[in-house]
């Protein structure tokens, strides 16, 4: 099966065919750097990082652009409230987003343009729209005339009578449904010179200029959160098509992270910031959690769901590390046909994870049966599949976050006390006590392995690895 993706514009699954064989161009609407990132912000980064990794795995050269919106009303307002320069406020929070992406193993983009760096391209874009009769100037503002484009609303399904742009007030609009391309300068605000007077860019214009400026007038995939379908992406299409560019060939949108059924949003006060989350679980566990649902579905956040995901990840991590420690180095192997089918079906990550966990169960069985070659082969495949999802347990970027050394040392003291008790019971042939100690450790997720150098322990959470142990002394 070839890769099929759900195209929001077509409202159906479409077979993916890039504009140029072997080369895929992708534009992701990145952060508006107004504050500290929360898990709702980074979900799109993780979801489409999987897309990028899968496209590259299939042999494509992927040109992946993720922009930064570093000038807009919210940035200006929050910087002013904090008494800080707008550019410093934006740069500070851009670094916070970079830190979050890096912590969660999101690959750096091929290019990461800032809106303020593309003003010349925006001016050219506006002139093209004015020349083609799709834009007009009023009081130093430049507006897009939505009635001039018969296809307006095709992405979102909005009818013109229902259009509400939701933007800050300007002057001189011919129709309240028109949207702003350029905002005339206001006292105290940053501005750039244009043929129509000083001002600053509108949000929608920024992305059209950056996308086409770096990827060309037509490119393969445009990604972003489903909250961007209208008005942002609808208006991007209007600007770009109005200027004569074919623009994006496929439109992909990820679902929200919700809390108590509401979209996670600073304005609602229901956000969970990334630094706070990383005090609850390791970065790789948070990545696993945020990427575990299908990218188009809503992800309802709860502490319980987060911990369940972390436990599930530890199962596959424990398996790979056990094989590595007992059988020798585990390379990155090959993905299975079932995994390929899952991801080719609109990036079906839940089905792909089911394939991985099934493999872990079979690998644990091979390990317990002493089939070293089979265990290594399965672990290598698990590594390959996890790598596509960005959660390979042996990847170098996760090395520093595998476990808390202080916590491990404390646990080692407690486990060793029980192991000493078990060793004495075995020496005394008190098999009842020996069984009781081992079973209690197993129930706590501690696997005990007897070696010539004494009992060794490791953490595991795989139920199949706990079952079927012979009694002590048997």
Q: pLDDT value at position 452? A: 40
Same domain, 385 and 422: no
Is residue 16 in some structural domain? yes
Query: How much is the average pLDDT of 16-20?
Result: 97
Across 157-166, 210-219, 399-408, 449-458, least confident range: 399-408
Residue 260 lies in a domain: no
The more confident residue out of 143 and 464 is 143
Helix axes 303-327, 349-368, angle to 10 degrees: 40
Dump pLDDT digits (tens) for 392-418.
999 999 986 555 534 544 676 788 888
Cα distance between residue 324 and residue 458, in whole Å? 12
Distance CA 241, CA 221 (A): 16
Question: What's the pLDDT tens digit per position in 146-175?
Answer: 999 999 999 999 999 889 998 877 789 999
Render pLDDT for 26-47 as a digit per residue (tens, 0 to 9). 999 999 999 989 898 999 999 9
Any domain includes 471? no
Residue that finishes a domain, picked among 349, 368, 401? 401
Point out the domain boundary residue: 223, 254, 285.
254
**Strand, coil or helix: what is 26?**
strand
Render the burial of 358-375: b for 16+ CB within 10 Å, e for the rest: ebbeebbbbbeeeeeebb
Distance (Å, whole) CA 338 – CA 332: 17
pLDDT score of 412? 65
Taking CA atoms, 442 is separated from 108, 426, 432, 445, in Å, by 41, 17, 15, 5
Residue 146, C-beta contacts closer than 8 angstroms, at least 6 positions apart = 152, 160, 163, 175, 177, 178, 179, 238
What mean pLDDT is predicted for residues 5-21?
Answer: 98
CA pair distance 340, 329, nearest whole angstrom: 25
Beta bridge partners of 142: 137, 182
Would you tell me how many other CB atoms lie within 10 Å of the CB of residue 409?
Answer: 9
C-alpha gyration radius of the chain: 27
Q: Which two tokens stand for residue 318?
A: 């424990």
Please count the structural domains in the chain: 3
Point out the least confidently predicted range of 182-196, 256-270, 394-408, 448-462.
448-462
Report if residue 262 sits inside a domain.
no
pLDDT at 410: 64
Q: CATH no. for residue 244?
A: 3.40.50.620
Same domain, 215 and 241: yes
Average pLDDT of the chain is: 90
Same domain, residue pair 396 and 355? yes
More confident residue, 441 or 403: 441
Asked if residue 17 is part of any domain, the answer here is yes
> pLDDT for 298-311, tens place per residue?
999 999 999 999 99
Largest CA distance in the chain: 94
- CA-based angle 393:399:404, to the nearest 5? 100
Residue with tokens 């649902």: 293
pLDDT score for 156: 95
What share of the chain has pLDDT > 90, as a percent? 75
Domain range for 356 is 274-401
Provide, for the chain, the percentages of residues in helix, strand and coil under a 3-state DSSP scheme, each rounded to the nearest 5: 50, 15, 35
29 and 150 belong to one structural domain: yes
pTM, to two decimals? 0.83
Residues 395 and 420 both lie in one domain: no
Tokens of 323: 């094989």
Are 249 and 385 contained in the same domain? no
Q: Are 29 and 224 in contact (CB under 8 A)?
A: yes
DSSP state of 259: E
Instruction: Give me the pLDDT at residue 234, please.
Output: 97
pLDDT of residue 296: 98
The predicted model gives 204-209 an average pLDDT of: 96
| Residue 463 clears pLDDT 50, i.e. is over it | no
**Residue matched to tokens 């130093």:** 140
Q: Where are the beta strands (DSSP E) in 230-372?
A: 247-254, 257-259, 262-263, 299-300
Helix or strand (DSSP H, E) at 235: helix 234-242
**pLDDT of the residue at 279:** 86
The per-residue pLDDT for 434 is 85
Partners of 284 in the beta sheet? none
* Secondary element (H or E) of residue 210: helix 203-215
Residue 261 domain flag: no
Residue 374 counted as domain residue: yes
- Quote the pLDDT of residue 273: 85
- C-alpha span between 295 and 44 (Å, rounded): 8
Indicate if 395 and 411 belong to the same structural domain: no
pLDDT confidence of residue 453: 44
Same domain, 333 and 412: no
Band (271; pLDDT cuts 50, 70, 90)? low
pLDDT computed for residue 416 by the predictor: 80
Q: Which two tokens stand for residue 336?
A: 């299975």
Strands of 40-165 (E only): list them.
Answer: 61-66, 135-138, 141-144
State the Cα–Cα distance between residues 225 and 219, nearest whole angstrom. 19
Same domain? 142 vs 25: yes
Q: CA triplet 139, 141, 145: central angle to 5 degrees? A: 110
The answer to whether residue 8 scores a pLDDT higher than 90 is: yes
Which of 48, 415, 26, 407 lies closest to 225 in space, CA to CA?
A: 48
Last residue of a domain, which of 226, 254, 282?
254
Domain of residue 286, CATH code? 1.20.120.640
125 plus 235 within the same structural domain:
yes
Mean pLDDT is lowest, of 155-169, 257-271, 348-362, for 257-271
Q: Does 454 share its domain with 356?
A: no
Residue 263: inside a domain: no
- Assess whether 295 and 429 both reside in one domain: no
Q: What is the pLDDT of residue 87?
A: 97
Q: What is the pLDDT confidence band of residue 117, given thresholds at 50, 70 and 90?
A: very high
User: Is 80 exceeded by the pLDDT of residue 57?
Assistant: yes
pLDDT at residue 113 above 60? Answer: yes
């Amino acid at each position: 099966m070839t890769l099929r993706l759900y195209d929001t514009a077509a409202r159906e699954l479409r077979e993916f065919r890039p504009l140029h064989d072997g080369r895929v161009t992708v534009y992701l609407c990145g952060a508006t750097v107004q504050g500290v990132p929360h898990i709702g912000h980074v979900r799109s980064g993780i979801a489409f990082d999987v897309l990028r990794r899968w496209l590259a795995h299939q042999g494509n050269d992927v040109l992946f652009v993720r922009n930064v919106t570093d000038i807009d009303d919210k940035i200006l307002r929050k910087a002013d409230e904090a008494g800080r320069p707008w550019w410093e406020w934006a740069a500070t929070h851009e670094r916070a987003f970079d830190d979050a992406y890096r912590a969660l193993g999101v690959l750096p983009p091929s290019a990461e343009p800032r809106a303020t760096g593309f003003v010349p391209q925006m001016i050219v874009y506006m002139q093209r729209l004015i020349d083609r009769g799709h834009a007009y100037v009023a009081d130093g503002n430049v507006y897009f005339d939505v009635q001039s484009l018969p296809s307006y609303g095709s992405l979102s399904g909005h009818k013109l009578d229902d259009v509400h742009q939701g933007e800050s007030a300007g002057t001189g609009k011919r129709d309240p449904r028109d949207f702003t391309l350029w905002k005339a300068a206001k006292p105290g605000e940053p501005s750039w010179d244009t043929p129509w007077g000083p001002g600053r860019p509108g949000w929608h214009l920024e992305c059209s200029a950056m996308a086409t400026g770096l990827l060309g007038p037509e490119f393969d995939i445009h990604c972003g959160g489903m909250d961007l379908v209208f008005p942002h992406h609808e208006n991007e299409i209007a600007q770009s098509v109005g200027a004569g560019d074919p623009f994006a060939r496929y439109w992909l949108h990820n679902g929200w992270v919700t809390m108590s059924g509401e979209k996670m949003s600073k304005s609602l006060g229901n956000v969970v910031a990334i630094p706070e989350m990383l005090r609850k679980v390791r970065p790789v566990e948070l990545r696993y959690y945020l990427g575990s649902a299908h990218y188009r579905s809503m992800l309802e956040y709860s502490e319980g769901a987060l911990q369940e995901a972390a436990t599930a990840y530890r199962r596959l991590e424990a398996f790979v590390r056990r094989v590595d420690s007992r059988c020798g180095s585990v390379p990155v192997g090959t993905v299975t046909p079932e995994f390929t089918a899952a991801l080719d079906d609109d990036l079906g990550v839940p089905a792909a994870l089911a394939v991985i966990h099934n493999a872990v169960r079979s690998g644990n069985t091979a390990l317990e049966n002493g089939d070293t070659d089979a265990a290594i082969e399965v672990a290598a495949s698990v590594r390959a599949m996890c790598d596509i999802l960005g959660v390979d347990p042996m990847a170098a970027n996760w090395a520093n976050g595998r476990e808390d050394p202080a916590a491990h040392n404390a646990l080692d003291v407690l486990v060793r006390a029980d192991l000493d008790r078990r060793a004495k019971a075995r020496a005394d042939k008190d098999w009842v006590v020996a069984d009781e100690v081992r079973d209690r450790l197993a129930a706590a997720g501690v696997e005990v392995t007897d070696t010539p150098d004494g009992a060794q322990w490791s953490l595991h959470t795989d139920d199949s690895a706990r079952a079927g142990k012979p009694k002590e002394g048997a």
